Amino acid sequence: MARILSVFVALFVASASVAAPVEYRQVGDLACNIDRLKIVAGLLSTGAAVNKIDTTDPATATSVAAAQAGLTTAGDAIKDIALALVTGKAAPASSRTGVSQGLNDTRSALERITDPTVNATVAAALSQLQAAIDDGNDVIADCK
């Protein structure tokens, strides 16, 4: 996850220092860039919340591993999008799907957890995840 953050820092440095050719428009305006930072921060918070779930119960451990895999999928896809933006290329459509798919996988995995003793930490992770999904929707709305 830290690597994703550094890619976004690179993206900001690049967008600040490079004169904007036509194909650079995809870097987006300020609202769009704030949304992008928010989804990266949201993924980091969701990951931290998922790590707090007690995995003593084996079924919970399996679901937590699946939730973490979903976050990795989403994070890798975001990294691909950021790299495409930095190099002035179009972000691959498959990466957008990857973000959505990864977040959906994380949600289904968390929703499979039935152990009542981890209820609170699962609820906290789901609420962080919903915030990240909302940020993702803002990116789609604001980054045209």
Ligand X SMILES: *[C@@H]1O[C@H](CO)[C@@H](O)[C@H](O)[C@H]1NC(C)=O
Q: How far is the CB of 11 from ligand X (least distance, A)?
A: 23
> Which of residues 15, 45, 100, 130 is near ligand X by CB under 6 A?
100
Structure tokens that stand for 5 in this block: 């953050």
Q: Is 116 in the site for ligand X (CB under 6 A)?
A: yes
CA distances, 99 to each of 15, 30, 121 (Å)? 22, 21, 23
CB 9 within 8 A of CB 36: no
# of chain residues touching ligand X (CB under 6 A): 7
Q: Which residues contact 97 (CB under 8 A, 6 or more apart)?
A: 77
20-40 burial string, b = 16+ CB within 10 Å, else e?
eeeeeebbbeeebbebbebbb
> Which one, of 52, 55, 44, lies nearest residue 129 by Cα?
44
Q: What's the min distance (Å) between Cβ of 116 and ligand X?
A: 4
Please list every residue from 16 through 75 that binds ligand X, using CB under 6 A: none
Q: Does 97 bind ligand X (CB under 6 A)?
A: yes
Out of 119, 137, 140, 141, name the contact with ligand X by CB under 6 A. 119
Assess 108 for contact with ligand X (CB under 6 A).
no
Of 15, 68, 72, 104, the residue at the interface with ligand X (CB under 6 A) is: 104
Cβ atoms of 47 and 5 closer than 8 Å: no
Q: Is 130 in the site for ligand X (CB under 6 A)?
A: no
Residues at the site binding ligand X, with contacts judged by CB under 6 A:
97, 100-101, 104, 116, 119, 123
